[in-house]
Amino acid sequence: MRPLGLIAKKALSFSCDIHVVRGVNRVDAKSLFDLLTLGAEAGVQLSVEASGTDADGAVSQLVALIESDFEALESPVRAV
């Protein structure tokens, strides 16, 4: 699955609200549509915000996923 799909899938496994931020754009991490509208390509700076019961775990796991360059992917894919 593509990187954004992985992010959304991971985000969906938490119950807290999670947002991914790029510059002035802040979108729902659980929505593939919203993530797509960030227009994020490989190399751009993203931050992750979360609030709720499992917020800490959500942030650390999502950051780890993004920083891993999406190792779960079988072949190198553009990081969008």
Partner 1 sequence: MQIRRGIAVSPGVAIGPAMLLGTETFRIPQRVISASAVDMELSRFRVALESVCEEISHNERLARERLGDQYAAIFSAHLMMARDTQLLQQIEDLIRKYHSPEYSASQVLRQYAKRLEDLGGQYLSERSVDIYDLEKRLLRLLLGERREELAHLTAPVLVLANNLTPSETANLDRKFVLGFATEVGGHTSHTAILAGALEIPAVVGVGKFLRDVSGAETIIIDGSHGVVIVDPDPETLAKYRVLEARFQSQERRLNSQRELPCETGDGVPITVMGNIEFPAEAEPCREKGAAGIGLYRTEFLYLGSNREPTEEDHFQAYCQVLKAFPDHPVIIRTLDLGSDKMPGALRAAYPEGVNPALSVRSIRLSLQNLQLFKTQLRAALRAAEFGDLRIMFPLITTLLEFRQARMVLGDVIEDLEEQGVPFKRDVPVGMMVEVPSAAIMADEFAREVDFFSLGTNDLIQYTLAVDRADQGVAYLYREGDPSILRMIRMVVEAARKHGIPVSVCGQMSTSPMFLPLLVGMGIRQVSVTPHAIPELKEVIRKLTIERAEKIAARAMEFDVARDVENYLWGELKRLCPELMQLD
Single-letter residue type at 19: H
Q: Is 78:41 a contact under the CB 8 Å cutoff?
A: yes
Quick one: which H or E segment has residue 20?
Answer: strand 17-22
Binding marks (x or -) toward partner 1, 19..58, rule CB under 8 A? Answer: ---------x-xxxxx-xx-x-x-----------------
Q: What residues form DSSP beta bridges with 26?
A: 21
Q: Which of residues 1-20 bind partner 1 (CB under 8 A)?
A: 1-2, 5, 8-9
> Which residues are near partner 1 by CB under 8 A?
1-2, 5, 8-9, 28, 30-34, 36-37, 39, 41, 74-75, 78, 80
